[in-house]
Structure 1
Amino acid sequence: MLAKIKRAFSLSILAFGFVAAPVFAIEVTEPAGAAHGFPGLCDINGKKLADGEFRQWVEDKRLHIVITYKFPDGQVFEENALFRQHPELAQEKWSWRETKNGKLSREFTADFLAKTATALTHENNTPKRWPRSAAGYASRNAKASCDLRPQC
């Protein structure tokens, strides 16, 4: 009897996956292409904190996005993201890297296809690895080219 319940439960989860997958898919109505800009990073009062560079291009059927901010004190923040746009929008990779005067301060990576993530920080010049990471601004930016109708 317990085996039948487990089998029924497993099949119901599988069925839910087939039904739910199309509901959560994000349809790309206008695929993104190449773009290049120079956004400034400002504080809440409008004071410029850093000079930015935004680059976006399609290569090997993947959308690449790189956002870099350079601060006057030598800090550089760079975010990279890689997306597939067809058959629907799916983020495949993401990374965030902070350096100061060329020396790595923090780095976070996520490979969504491999289901892996890394986080590396430096405390007192000692590298420290963390078990979790997070996605950043490029994810939101890529989703802006999607049709976010109620099925999303």
Structure 2
Amino acid sequence: MIVVNKDNVISGNTVLQPEYVPYVEEEQEKLRRRAKEKRLRQKRLKGKIKIIRNITLAFTVGVILVGRYCVIYNMQQQLNSISNNINEVNRDNENLKVELVKYNNIQYIEDAAVSKLHMILPDKGTAAQADLGKEVIKASDKKSDTQAYKSIWSKLSKMLF
């Protein structure tokens, strides 16, 4: 008999079921290879998980930083806008002060009265002067109607209660 395939060696009668002799060393080698491959797969999986975690962490930190810079930028824009408004209001106040000084001049007031309101300048002989220090209207001694009603009401309430 010529043996072509050493893995399939049959010894004994072909009528009987041949006995299979397992190669223990090959089985153990296969188990070792499988265990090694399993460890390599687990390492690769752990490495991928670490990479995904780091990418997620970097993305989260980036989003937080960009969001914070957006808030700072918006606050800076509001500050600039408010500063511009304050400067504009200060300019308006300065303009109003200048106009107030202009209107505070007695010569300007006289010119406006003569030209716009058609008033005439008084002569010294026809001018009438009034003493504003004295009381012109004297206080009357009569009680007003409301005081009379109040006094009547108070008398009635005293009598009843």
**TM-score bin, normalised by smaller chain:** under 0.3
* Larger relative helix fraction: 2
Q: Tell me the TM-score normalized by structure 2.
A: 0.22
**Which has more radius of gyration?**
2
Larger relative contact order (Cα-Cα within 8 Å, sequence gap ≥ 6): 1
